[in-house]
Amino acid sequence: MEGKCVKTKTGGLSNLKPADAEVKAIIKEVKAAVEKKVGKKLETYLAVSYKTQVVSGTNYFVKVNVGYEHLHLRIFEPLNHTGKPKELTDLQTGKTADDEIIYF
């Protein structure tokens, strides 16, 4: 799958965008890692919104509704030519629907 061209200056976070099909697929790829990190199975796991950061690849900062709270996930997507998979690089728990996605 080809990635979208995201117009943002390198290093800065993009504007907030509603979750689209691409981001919904990305969070599915890292769900097992998220469940391992929070220590439980997540019945509800819905992408709400996201920001991106262009680095040597792309960081996705995604707000995910897990029912009882929201999580903020940081997922790194390496450049296509590396052949490496996307990876969960960090997450924040205890977030609400109103919490802004900021760099972490």
List pLDDT tens digits, range 1-53: 344 444 444 568 999 999 999 999 999 999 999 999 999 999 999 999 999 99
pLDDT of residue 10: 53
**CA angle centred on 73, ends 70 and 78, rounded to 5°:** 160
pLDDT at residue 91 in the model = 96
Fold for domain 17-95?
A: Nuclear Transport Factor 2; Chain: A, (3.10.450)
pLDDT digits (tens, 9 = 90+) for 45-78: 999 999 999 988 999 999 999 999 999 999 999 9
Residue 85, number of CB atoms within 10 A of its CB = 10
Q: Is the pTM of this model over 0.95?
A: no
